[in-house]
């Protein structure tokens, strides 16, 4: 035990000496050269700048050489066409036409149906106009014409007795409808139109030769009884005679003011075109 204490103490002393004195150096230490100061200089600042090169002069533009005109190639002459021999025309074939069918006989018009439609129309109130109704150009029996004339005369006498309207109020002398209707239906339509027009037509006071101012007017009607167009038939006198023009305009205004006309719509194809004749001489007893 005493040896261990001694050995431990010796080691401690050796360690302390080493720390104090240091270990012996067995390797040579190289010498270090003294430091040399170095400055960094940029080359652009120190080097002389080269002189700028002169800009080269622009070369003049070369004008393009004109292209040579293309030579027109000679067109060889067209060969002459050989004459073609005309072909013989074929003989026309004879066409046999079939026999034409015989025309069917025209069907008779259904006159009773038209009179039946006219009878079904609602009756119009009777008035007593002083009218001269033109008879259409159709063959009629003289007995029927005389009967109609006597009826009109009786109506005129009754009108004068009752004095329902002053005598100086003239009425249109007549109206004509299309001839598709039967004579009975035509007379009924004329009666309706003239009776309706009698309350609208007046002669202008002071008109010169009023008896001769007979005005013919063509009227186109709409289905509702309104007037679509009014045309004066005697246009040459309308342009030349101021008094006739005034009478014609008066008749035109009367037709327009009287619309719509109370006509049956079922027979529109009959009365869609009518012709009026305004005759003032009836007022003066002519």
What confidence tens digit (pLDDT) does each residue in 81-125 have?
A: 666 665 656 565 555 555 555 656 555 454 545 444 544 544 444
Backbone angles phi, psi at 148, to 5 degrees: -65, -40
Q: How confident is the model at residue 165 (pLDDT cuts 50, 70, 90)?
A: very low
Q: For residue 130, count other CB atoms closer than 10 A to its CB.
A: 19
pTM of the predicted model over 0.75: no
More confident residue, 63 or 116: 63
| Mean pLDDT, range 55-65, rounded to an integer | 67
| Cα 61 from Cα 49, distance rounded (Å) | 35
176 forms beta bridges with 275
Distance, in Å, from the CA atom of 283 to the CA atom of 129, rounded to the nearest integer, reads 12
Q: What one-character-per-residue DSSP string does 39-75 give?
A: ----HHHHSPPPPPPPPPPPPPPPPPPPPPPPPPPPP
Separation between Cα atoms, residue 92 and residue 88, nearest integer Å: 12
d(CA 198, CA 193): 9
| DSSP assigned state of 282 | G
Q: Greater confidence, 279 or 40?
A: 279
Q: Which helix (H) or strand (E) holds 3?
A: helix 2-21
Q: What is the mean pLDDT of the chain?
A: 66
d(CA 203, CA 244): 12
Q: Is 232 helix (H, G, I), strand (E, B) or coil?
A: strand
| Residues forming a β-bridge with 215 | 278
How many residues are recorded in the chain? 286
Please, are residues 271 and 265 in contact by the beta-carbon 8 Å criterion? no
Return the structure tokens found at 89. Answer: 């025309």
The separation between the first and the last C-alpha atoms of the chain, rounded to the nearest angstrom, is: 191
Residue 200 binned pLDDT confidence (cut-offs 50, 70, 90) = confident
Least confident of 61-75, 197-211, 222-236: 61-75
pLDDT in tens, 121-150: 444 444 444 444 444 454 444 444 444 444
Show contacts of 114-117: CB within 8 Å, 24+ apart: 114/181, 114/182, 114/185, 115/182, 115/184, 115/185, 117/264, 117/266, 117/267
Give SS3 for 176: strand
Q: Round to whole Å and give the CA distance between 148 and 187.
A: 10
pLDDT tens per residue across span 37-46:
767 666 555 5
Give the pLDDT of residue 222. Answer: 92
Count of C-beta atoms within a 10 Å radius of residue 204: 13
Q: List the alpha helices (DSSP H) in 70-182.
A: 111-120, 142-162
């Amino acid at each position: 035990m005493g040896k261990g204490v001694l050995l431990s103490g010796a080691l401690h002393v050796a360690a302390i000496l080493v720390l104090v004195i240091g270990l012996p150096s067995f390797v040579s230490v190289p010498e270090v050269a003294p430091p040399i100061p170095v400055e960094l200089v940029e080359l652009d600042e120190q080097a002389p700048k080269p002189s700028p090169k002169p800009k080269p002069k622009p070369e003049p533009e070369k004008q393009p050489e004109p292209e040579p005109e293309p030579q027109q190639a000679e067109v060889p002459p067209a060969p002459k066409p050989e004459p073609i021999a005309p072909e013989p025309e074929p003989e026309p074939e004879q066409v046999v036409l079939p026999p034409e069918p015989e025309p069917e006989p025209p069907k008779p018009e259904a006159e009773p149906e038209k009179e039946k439609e006219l009878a079904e129309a609602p009756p119009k109130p009777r008035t007593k106009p002083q009218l001269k109704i033109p008879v259409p150009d159709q063959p009629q029996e003289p007995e029927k014409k005389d009967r109609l004339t006597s009826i009109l005369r009786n109506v005129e006498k009754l009108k004068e007795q009752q004095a329902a309207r002053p005598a100086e109020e003239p009425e249109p002398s007549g109206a004509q409808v299309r001839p598709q209707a039967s004579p009975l239906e035509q007379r009924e339509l004329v009666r309706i139109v003239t009776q309706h027009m009698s309350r609208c037509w007046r002669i202008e006071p002071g008109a010169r030769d009023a008896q001769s101012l007979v005005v013919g007017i063509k009227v186109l009607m709409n289905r509702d009884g309104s007037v679509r167009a009014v045309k004066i038939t005697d246009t040459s006198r309308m342009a030349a005679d101021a008094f006739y023009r005034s009478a014609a305009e008066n008749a035109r205004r009367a037709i327009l003011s009287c619309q719509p006309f109370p006509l049956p719509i079922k027979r529109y194809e009959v009365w869609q075109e009518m012709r009026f004749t305004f005759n003032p001489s009836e007022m003066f007893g002519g």
